[in-house]
Structure 1
Amino acid sequence: MNSIWNKNRSAFAFRFPSLVKMFASEIAAVDAICSGSSIPHDTSNDNPPAIGQPFPFWNIVSAKDGSVSAYEGGALLHSAYNPKREAEQTVANSDFAGCRAAVFFGFGLGYAVEAYALRFPDRAIIVVEPDAARFFASLALTDWTAVFASKDCIAAIACPPHTVVSFIEQYGASHCAFFSVPSQTAHSSDYFDTLRTLVERNRRKDDINAATLERFAKRWLKNSCKNINNYALMRGVSAYAGNAHGIPFTIVAAGPSLERVLPYLSEIKKRSVVVCVETALRACLRAGVEPDFIVVGDPQYYAYRHIAGLTSKSSVLIAEVAVYPAVFSFSCRGFALSSSLFPIGKWFERRLGKKGDLGAGGSVASAAWNFAYAAGASEIHCCGLDFAFPEKRTHIRGSMFEEGTHETSVRTLPAETQNLPLLFSAGAETASDYDGKPVPTDSRMKMFAWWFESRLASCPDVKTHTFSRSGIAVPGIEPVDIRSFLKKPDITARKNEFIKKSEASEKASPPAKERFDAVRAEFLHEIASLRKIAEDGKRICENALADGGAAKSRAPTGCAAHISDMYTISDGNAEHSVTLRALADIDEAILKSSVKDAVSLALPSGKRFADLAGNGDKTGDAFRKSLLHSRRIYEELARAASECAKYVP
């Protein structure tokens, strides 16, 4: 038997024993081909199978350097001269700062995969091949032992595209080097096209999250600080985790199709746990139904307006600590906190315990779905989750969105006209509903649908259904007739037991007041320390600027107070080196601060900060420019720390 295959087969079996069982027939087929090879073996017994077509999909040829290459469909998979050197050059050119993993969309015979494993043995390698026969055929032709010996190796063989994306997300798409050669992916072009689309969507998701952070950072800072005492008062949503096994949940969103479901909502509540997003609460109450849970996700004031003035005495409101403060004045049975997505909340939760993650990004409905899944829902039904504008309507009648357009409607700008930008904006698109019919939507709604699609694909253990066929058809969500759902038994008693058991649990309960007070005092102390460090940095810069760029006899205070030796810079100026060493100590202290991320929310963001730091001396003196730049940064950091402390009650 071919010894390359022998070595690779053994290494693969050792690394992936479960995959050996899963692909036993494909492995047996390669065993038979290698055993029946008609090419005489040399003494090293390392020859590949017969040159020609031992595998029906490849025409194997000998490269100029004596190694093997192959054609498929008339296209050469690797260099006809030196496949190994070609692969090594490709791998060398792929590297970038922060790279954590390599993703191979197809790989031909595997030269590039081997080259990457040899060059970067400590990085993760994800090999993606929808055709198992091709994957195992490559193991008979090139040496894969270095790949299977690498620190992290994922063999995504015959995996659905969404599963592959979940592997990539473990490392972050922006931290992955991607390899994709057209001739090596042509055999499954539709599969790889889908995969590229999904990866690009996830990259766009990251860009949207970053843009949102830049736009609303100060609002999140203010809200988080003002609400911080709620950590001492409210349980976490993880109190409900795993307690609802066998119980169906229903997610209520505010899409136009909710109108058809409202008459049945009271019966739906008897047969499931109803989780309502804040935009749909007004409609639920209008139907005489108080949901079991209400989810508020957006920290902006406009999210609060959806529930302002309403009352739902039997509901539990779920929110994170960064929501608009008035949310926690809502009249309901109680509150539950989800884990914060933002630095201040994360700082407190590292010390007081996690509240329960409901996921980042997506719509509020995705957080509601995550809550249902974490609780242990047996199945999840959705109503009003359209991600589209069926019948050219944007929201259910009576929602705050629709009522707002009527309140501001005038003769020259009626409500219908106010909705036109949503229907015909630059981002307007069409998609297919569950019957394959076109339905108007926009790029934002499509992004929310993609978020849902990705999440559902990573959680195949729970079935998700929709009561409407008129919204975007989301893979993983199956439409069902509401009448079949209403045949389910009344589970009110089981539902009440689930809620009672969860709320009586010590899990995710609020900390003791003394502990919380100590943690809050630590936070304020860390903020004050960071402000002092930044002020010291600013003072060092000002002293150096006043002395013409030299730090003379005035010794800096704080972290830069003890400077024992000189730091020599390229211009040989010893006085400059003292200043640089002092500022290096300041920067090191800032980077070690546990609250630097929290305070960063109050800093000017993006281009505005670059403009602030860049406005200064125009003389061309590089050292002076550096001092002016640093002074402005320290000044802004000290101001941000003061602003952060100001909002903490």
Structure 2
Amino acid sequence: MSEFFQRNAEVLQRRWPALLERLLVEAGEALEVELVEGLGSTLSVSGIQLTSRHDRLAEARLQAQSLPAGSSTVHLYGAGLGDLQRVLLERPELDRLQLHLLNGALFHLVLQLLDQSDWLADPRVELAYAGDSLEIALPFFALPSELVLADDYNAKIRDRLISEAHLADNNRAFDVADPRLQQLLEDSLPLLRQDPDVAALFATQAGRDCYVIATGPSLAAHLPALARVRAQAERPLFICVDTAYLPLLRAGIQPDIVVSVDHKIRIHHLPPDDSAATTLVYMPMLDVELLGNWRGPRYSAYSSSALYARVREAIPRAELFVGGSVIHPATDLAVKMGASSITLFGADFAFPGDRTHTGWGDGVLGPAISASRHWVLDGHGQRVRTQLNFRGYLVELERFIAQHPQVRFYNTSRAGALIAGTAYDPDFCP
């Protein structure tokens, strides 16, 4: 045991003895570490530099500037080498600095190499594993290096932190000043005025079970069972996302409702030939050729996007929740229609088996599998490849589920991402 670790451990034993026990258990985890030198020095872990190698203190002061001045409480995700903690504790107005660990083995390593006892002993500091919480807290700063190095236990919180950090950038994709999007909205107005409000569907299926069907790779294995259920006289309501519609039809499964919100969806995604028995729920800016040729009932809806601000008053429509993916409004529709339970199919948010979607080739609906650089935990607790935006969609679905405790949510595959708030359906996922 190093002299530094002994000193640090004494503080931890006094203030957080249970946390120290967890750290000691993680002490055996091997980390690839090397010293990186410049004008100063830092550590590189698994090829990720923890801090600046030139001026750690200047970097910490710059990071601190992103947090609102005058805050009595600040949340810091990742411990780094202790620099940002010390800078924040210089603030006289700070009453509480909550430090959330993102990698226990990494923190244990730092405790062996550097004296951290000064800030650990500060009575304003609270220390916990990030994964002990279900949600992130504001205001926060997350150390970029530790977002990359977050371990499995803290991965859910890491995903929420990244989703929050990317929120402003994601919203720019739907900029109200974008003339292309404004023209799409203008083109859709005649049909929008003609089609009824999605609110007419609300509360029409009170107490009914509902299947919400997405297009993840795990859907393929469930198609025969879904076909059998669809043929039953009494069965759940089938709601699918737009890209799942064609794979379902090919398997002989006619969904009751298909939901589409993406202006990139075209008629080859939603061919109208066999659509008479399927209701289409859409948001403006969907391809007008697709809409005009749809043979089944159509219902229109809005999201909370500012894009619809100028038409809301003239053409009122109910809102469905959109968190970046069409699975969100499909699930929200099921809830608002009165579903007592919702079973998710193909909601993988990942690429199990190194496949991207059911019924579509690699890269047809988005980046190819070779472009995936991120991971989530699957239902077996193993890492499975994914895209960064998929992790954000997963976060928003989990938040939605948490806000609707009156509905039972089930998942049907352990191969895809673990979805917090769901149970595994024993009929489909033994």
| CA deviation string 1:147-180 (max 9, x = no partner) | xxxxxxxxxxx99744x54xx6xxxxxxx64489
Determine which of 64, 75, 98 is the counterpart of 1:105. 75
Matches of 2:310 and 2:248 in 1, distance apart?
A: 36
How many residue pairs get matched?
A: 331
2:335 is the counterpart of 1:373: yes
Greater gyration radius: 1
Would you say the 8 A contact 2:379–2:418 is kept in 1? yes
Q: Is the 8 A contact 1:311 1:331 kept in 2?
A: no
Letter in 2 for 1:379: S
Choose which of 218, 240, 250 in structure 2 pairs with 1:257. Answer: 218
The alignment status of 1:330 with 2:330, answered yes or no, reads no
- Give me the TM-score of the superposition, normalised by structure 2: 0.63
Q: State the distance in 2 between where 1:431 and 1:338 align.
A: 32
Flag the 1:206–1:303 CA change in 2: closer, same or farther, 3 A.
farther
Greater Cα offset, 232-241 or 275-284: 232-241
Task: Quote the residue 1:299 is aligned against.
Answer: 263
For 2:356, the equivalent position in structure 1 comes to 394
Instruction: From the superposition, tell whether residues 203 and 429 of structure 1 become closer, same or farther in structure 2 (CA, over 3 Å).
Output: closer
- Superposed counterparts of 1:513-524, under 5 Å: none
**Is the CA contact (8 Å cut-off) linking 2:413 and 2:429 kept in structure 1?**
no
Instruction: Note if 1:228 corresponds to 2:198.
Output: no
What code does the residue aligned with 2:297 have?
Answer: G
Contact 1:256-1:389 within 8 A present in 2 as well:
yes
Give the letter for the 1:325 counterpart. Answer: V
Give the aligned partner of residue 277 of structure 1: 241
Contact 1:340 1:346 in 2 (8 A): no
Distance 1:179 1:361, change over 3 A: closer
Amino acid at match of 1:451: E
2:347 counterpart residue number: 385
Conserved? CA contact 1:322–1:342, under 8 Å: no
Identity %: 22
- 1:423 matched to which residue of 2? 369
Structure 1 residue 461, shift from structure 2 partner: 3.0
- Aligned residue for 2:32? none
Q: Distance in 2 between matches of 1:271 and 1:471?
A: 25
After superposition, the Cα gap between the structure-2 partners of 1:208 and 1:92, relative to the gap in structure 1 and judged at 3 Å, is closer
CA–CA distance in structure 2, aligned partners of residues 450 and 228 of structure 1? 32
2:229 matches 1:268: yes
1:477 to 419, 422, 425: 422
Identify the structure with bigger relative contact order (alpha carbons < 8 Å, sequence gap 6+).
Answer: 2
Candidates 344, 351, 359, aligned match of 2:321: 359
- Structure 2, unaligned stretches of length 5 or more? 1-12, 21-63, 77-84, 101-122, 124-129, 144-150
Aligned to 1:286: 250
Q: 1:386 to 1:216 in 2, by over 3 A?
A: farther
User: What residue is the counterpart of 1:450 in the other structure?
Assistant: 395
Aligned to 2:168: 206
Unaligned runs of 5+ in 1: 1-55, 60-71, 74-90, 118-125, 131-141, 143-157, 169-175, 182-188, 406-417, 486-649
Q: Pick from 280, 301, 311 the counterpart of residue 348 of structure 1.
A: 311
More helix by share: 1
Please give the TM-score of this superposition, normalised by the length of structure 1.
0.43
**Secondary structure, aligned partner of 2:297:** strand
The alignment status of 1:311 with 2:274, answered yes or no, reads: yes
Paired residues of 1:322 and 1:340 also in contact (CA < 8 A): no
Correspondence 1:40-59 to 2 at 5 A = none
Contact 1:253 1:277 in 2 (8 A): yes
Residues 340, 408 of structure 2: 8 Å contact kept? yes
